[in-house]
Amino acid sequence: MKISDIAYKDVFGISMVVWGGLLSLALLLLTFLVGALNRRGIRLIPLKYHFPLAWITVVVASVHGIIGLLANMGF
C-alpha cells in the first residue's frame, strides 16, 4: 500500500491529508488561545498545557507535511 493511497483516502468525503491539515490548524489555534487567554488573566486552560500543546502541534504538522509531500512525490 502506497502512502498516497492512505493520504488521499476519503473519510466523510474529505481526504486524510486535509483532515491532518485541519487538525494541525485546530491545534495551532488552541495553543495560541491557551497562551493569549492566560496572558489576559483568563485561565480556562492552565498555562502548563501551552508548551505540550505546542510540541504536539509541531509533531502533527510535521507528519501532515511529510505525508503530503511523499504522497505528491508518488510514494
pLDDT in tens, the chain (75 residues): 899 999 999 999 999 999 999 999 999 999 999 999 999 999 999 999 999 999 999 999 999 999 999 999 989
CB-based contacts of 57: which residues, under 8 Å, 6+ apart?
A: 24, 27, 28, 31
pTM for the model stands at 0.90
| 49, 31 contact by CB (below 8 A) | no
Determine the structural domain holding residue 29 and report its residue range: 3-72
Domain count, the chain: 1
Which residue's C-alpha cell is 501532515? Answer: 64
pLDDT of amino acid 7: 94
pLDDT of amino acid 1: 82
